[in-house]
A and B are shown apart, each in its own frame.
Chain A
Amino acid sequence: MHPIRKQRLYLVLFLVLFSSVAVGLVTYALRGNINLFFSPADVAAGKAPVGQAIRVGGMVVEGSVQRSDDSLAVRFVVTDYEATVPVVYEGILPDLFGEGQGAVASGALDEYGVMQATEVLAKHDENYMPPEVADALEKSGYDHKGKAQ
């Protein structure tokens, strides 16, 4: 074989080998590190798995935020106006977190249907709604103030 061709052949083989390793790495990394979004209605319908990393989001119900007096534990309820999911979280909440605002909690559901959140996201702009939450509300047929559309 022509030496340049031969070199190219080896190159291609090397590339194939290297990218298969990379693809393997990617699938392995993806398996444990992606999580799916569920709306409160999905959770109420039992579609969400218990004990697995998921995200749940909706509007934070007015008057539902309860803070502990002696720790950073906080408890609140998110809703898509069809169903509600209680969330517990320990830590500092983002600046834009507030009652009547959209929020997404990531964590896992425990067997009592309480979301044990490891992270709470509220987006960076008060007019801005996390798209997942906007979609979930659209599905339930309410706007973000809870009025039927």
Chain B
Amino acid sequence: MIPEIGHYALINALCLAVILAVLPAWGAWRRNTTAMGLAPGLAVGQLVFVAISFACLAAAFLQDDFTVKVVASNSNSLLPPMYKFSALWGNHEGSLLLWALILCLWTTAVALLSPQLPMQVLSRVLSVMGGIAVGFLSFSLFTSNPFERLLPGSPVDGSDLNPLLQDPGLIIHPPLLYMGYVGFSVAFAFAIAALLGGRLDASWARWSRPWTNVAWAFLTLGIMLGSWWAYYELGWGGWWFWDPVENASFMPWLAGTALIHSLAATEKRGLFKSWTVLLAIFAFSLSLLGTFLVRSGVLTSVHAFATDPARGMFILLFLAIVVGGSLILYALRAPAVSSRVSFAWVSRESLLLFNNVVFLVATLTVLFGTLFPLIMDALGQGKYSVGPPYFNAVFVPLMALLAPFMGLGPVSRWKGDTVARWRGELAISAVVAVLCGLTLPLLGEDYNLWVALAALLAAWLVLGLARDAWYRVRGAASLGSGLRRLTPSYCGMLLAHLGFAACVLGVVATSQYNVERDLKMSPGDSETLAGYTFEFLELVPVRGPNFVADEARFRVTKDNELIAMLAPQKRRYLASGSVMTEASIDAGLFRDLFVAMGEPIGSEGAWAIRLHYKPMVRWMWLGAIMMGFGGFATALDKRYRRQRRAATASAQGVLHGA
């Protein structure tokens, strides 16, 4: 019964979405206030029905209702309840429902949190989001219904969740990632609404900016969690594989990063308007493309759940409508909204423009590398694969190019600046940065040129930020009052840019200084790696709730001092019989020690063991977390709220007048 209620609720949600997509947009066009006034209510109603549907599916998972097909194929009665719940989005149908739920959440958030928006704009925005919801809800209902029953012949027990997905990180990774992916639909909806209305000004940028920043922040955290999960769960000790699916989430992030920077210029100076709109369209299209790549099964990946051609065709069609439609609209309306503001070459604007060019080129090269195998296959040129070396060769120089200009960014002035002033402001920073670059790598094992370069760039970034922050704080009576003077959006920028610096350092240091060894070890053996002695004590069998495992016990010492006890496992899951490596990691701010088990070798109890020493690997994720929180902080800025109060007053005036 419960699954049917869920199914029914989903159908209702689709009906509401259709109304939401049509009626308020029509109202905005005909200036019909009644039709426009329906938009927020429809958005809330749509959320309620999708939430009911989601809750019903969750209930089916938690109650082990194996008559429901997705439950039978993705859950098991032995599974811990927490993983039964997360199994909901560990499959194609359920993850699509999550997509729809999050889209409805964003729609409702826009409907409820935007009293400052003129009614026409709000109804257009909500209509566009309703249109997207129509696409996704009908995708879910017509090609991948999560409530499909297996009657008769339902199994006694389910065939279990893929063991790789049985992990706490994976409970929050997909929702966060989807919050980001889907969040760009808000930026997209604002852009389309502006094109429809023909009005694109600084206030438009101010409305759309906090939403875009928050979506970007979620996406940042989602990607970071995915990388962290790959690191400890896949058992390889790698943290980024340039896997097509990673790229699918990374491309919207890159385009989104360009977008949040060009939005800054649009808000502050009214510049790059049509460019910003184009980026918003681009970022959301990449989100959809990502969904297509992941869901259609055209790519080989962990995430490719289903290979149903009908599904692939549906998303491809939807993508074509969204991208084609919005680009046609753009071509028709963009000339009307282009800006006539000039700026000097030496100014903050041109630095932001440079940022945009770099990120756009980075997006396109990643896009090219991801689609290249598909294009060659479609042309019948054979099955190619493009490996990490390609992406590293292209991406790393681009990011290195970015850093010098990023250091200038905060110090620079809008409209026009002089090189002489930059030189005066940053001469000391430059000298200190070079000194950092020369000395910091000495703390590592051996002097490494790449680490020196990374330290130089990171120091340059941090010092530029510090210089600017000091400049802002210094005039105040006390340090406290000076710090209080900094706006949340400034602090957010500061935090995010510091995070980028930490990321650069972490990535380069761990790639350069990382020591890995795969070797054969028997209980009693020991091996020394980067000064740490790993001693294989014993091998014991252990039992978990839904698996049995061989556990290797390791003692790690350095200079005869105990550092950590590590216990990696080789698990065999009972329901599916699949084997999985559970790595054991001793984490630290400056180094991680990583042990994973391969397979047994020979007959005397020896195992293939993988030992890693990874310096500063955490910096990368800490940096990403800082970027994410920086993104959230910017949305707290008072100017988005202050303007709301003022706008509410005037909007009420308009309403009363009407």
Contacts and interface: CB of A to CB of B under 8 A. Distances in A.
Interface of A: 3-4, 7, 11, 14-15, 18-19, 22, 25-26, 28-30, 32-37, 55, 67-72, 91-93, 95-96, 106, 123-126, 128, 130-132, 135
Nearest to A70: B520
B390 interface: yes
A95 B342 contact: no
A33 to B, nearest CB: 4
* Interface of A: prevailing SS: mixed
Interface in B143-198: 162, 164
19 contacts: A22-B365, A22-B398, A29-B389, A33-B393, A34-B384, A34-B387, A34-B390, A35-B384, A36-B382, A36-B383, A37-B385, A72-B518, A72-B598, A95-B235, A106-B385, A124-B162, A124-B164, A126-B578, A135-B383
Question: Among the interface residues B368, B518, B599, which one has the most CB atoms of the partner chain A within 10 A?
Answer: B599
A34 B386 contact: yes
A11 to B, nearest CB: 8
Given A30-B390, A95-B580, A18 B357 contact: yes
Given A18-B357, A29-B394, A95-B580, A72 B519 contact: yes
B160 to A, nearest CB: 11
A92 B598 contact: yes
A71 B520 contact: yes
Interface in B366-401: 368-369, 372, 382-387, 389-390, 393-394, 397-398
* Interface of B: prevailing SS: mixed
Nearest to A31: B390
A98 B546 CA distance: 22
Contact of A34 (B343, B385, B610): B385
Contacts of A11: 353
Contacts of B304: 128
Contact of A55 (B162, B385, B599): B385
Interface string B294-314: 000000101010000000000
Contacts of B383: 36-37, 55, 132, 135
A29 B390 contact: yes
A123 B577 CA distance: 15
B520 A95 contact: no
A138 to B, nearest CB: 13
A68 to B, nearest CB: 8
Cβ-closest 4 pairs across A and B: A92-B598, A29-B393, A37-B383, A33-B390
A19 B363 CA distance: 12
B412 interface: no
A125 B602 CA distance: 27
A19 B360 CA distance: 10
B347 to A, nearest CB: 11
Given A18-B361, A130-B300, A28 B384 contact: no
Nearest to B572: A95
A125 B162 contact: yes
Given A33-B386, A35-B387, A36-B382, A92 B518 contact: yes
Contacts of A37: 382-385
A30 to B, nearest CB: 6
Contacts of A135: 383
A32 B389 contact: yes
B357 A15 contact: yes
B601 interface: yes
A108 to B, nearest CB: 14
Given A26-B394, A29-B394, A37-B385, A72 B372 contact: no
Given A19-B361, A92-B608, A125-B162, 6 more contacts: A15-B357, A22-B365, A29-B394, A34-B390, A35-B385, A132-B300
